[in-house]
Amino acid sequence: MLVNTKDMLINAQKGKYGVAAFNVYSLETVQAAIRVAEQEDTPVIIALGERYFPTVDVEGFAAMVRAMAEKASVPVSLHLDHAYEKESIIRAIRCGFSSVMFDGSTHPLEENIRLTKEITEIAHMAGVSVEAEIGSLAKGAFSDEEEGTGTLTDPESAKAFVEQTGVDFLAAAIGTVHGMYQGEPKIDIELLGRIQQVVDIPLVLHGGSGTPEEKVREAIQSGITKINVNTEVSMAAVSHLQTYFENKDMMHLSTVMEDMQRAMEPVMAKFVRLFAGK
């Protein structure tokens, strides 16, 4: 069933488990995410980034995901990931996204608060929940995201930000990166604990790919309810396709796409089970 992301994450907060937010780019990535969630009997978030708006028919895509979510046996929500433009947020709200992320992390704190508050007021009027970010993730290898500064989230700023903007869930920067780590990951669980002490809304971890499993478990125990996963799933699909094309003669595209989906599913299942504490 299609649900509001906020309700899904409040349940996760109470139950101390994490929900996977998979970045999707095609029918196959959506099918893989929902299929895995159904197999593991967990909720799942389908996330489309603003950066794909130029190449994706957003209205058509939203209608497709919503129809698939309604039919699913588990809670599914449709989330707009990393939106920098108000126009994208409005567009997502109009075509039925369950939640939107406004990323004002490139702005100074005061400006981020002002912009996020405005977005939150609009989204809430439409019954759509809002994620925001303070601090900024650095960019690792094979990422398709914008370059960030790697600035960690300051707990007192996070507290003020949440109080003044009314956002529903907050992305905290604690040392994870977008993409794969280059060198040893330095994940600051102690900082996350301090953020959790002063912020009572569900917390979000971007940069699930490559993060050590023990750190993920600790992060969930310290208030993380939504974990974004992008790069590892993309890499599984692409590396599978590379071996596929080396070894086979001309194949039909339908077979290739189906195979790509099958290559993504075990990676998604690994994350879903880890986040669910299985």
User: Active site includes 81?
Assistant: yes
Q: Is 139 in the site for Zn ion (CB under 5 A)?
A: no
**Between residues 52 and 244, which has the closer beta carbon with respect to Zn ion?**
52
* Site string (149-188) toward Zn ion, x via CB under 5 A: ----------------------------------------
Kindly state the smallest distance separating residue 147's Cβ from Zn ion, in Å: 12
Interacting span for Zn ion (CB under 5 A) from 28-36, 46-54, 202-210, 244-252: 202-210
**Between residues 68 and 80, which has the closer beta carbon with respect to Zn ion?**
80
**Between residues 91 and 206, which has the closer beta carbon with respect to Zn ion?**
206
* Under 8 Å between Cβ of 203 and 224: yes
Kindly state the smallest distance separating residue 246's Cβ from Zn ion, in Å: 32
Rounded to whole angstroms, the Cα distance separating 97 from 59 reads: 10
Interacting span for Zn ion (CB under 5 A) from 61-69, 206-214, 235-243, 266-274: 206-214
Interacting span for Zn ion (CB under 5 A) from 19-27, 151-159, 183-191, 205-213: 205-213
Kindly state the smallest distance separating residue 140's Cβ from Zn ion, in Å: 12
Q: Is 206 in the site for Zn ion (CB under 5 A)?
A: yes
**Residue showing tokens 């489309």:** 48
Kindly state the smallest distance separating residue 251's Cβ from Zn ion, in Å: 34
Rounded to whole angstroms, the Cα distance separating 158 from 208 reads: 21
Kindly state the smallest distance separating residue 20's Cβ from Zn ion, in Å: 13
- Residue number, nearest CB to Zn ion: 206
Which tokens is 162 given?
Answer: 């949440």
Rounded to whole angstroms, the Cα distance separating 13 from 220 reads: 9
**Between residues 60 and 150, which has the closer beta carbon with respect to Zn ion?**
150
Number of chain residues interacting with Zn ion (CB under 5 A):
1
Pick the catalytic residue from 7, 41, 57, 81. Answer: 81
**Binding residues vs Zn ion (CB under 5 A):** 206
As annotated, the active-site residues are 81
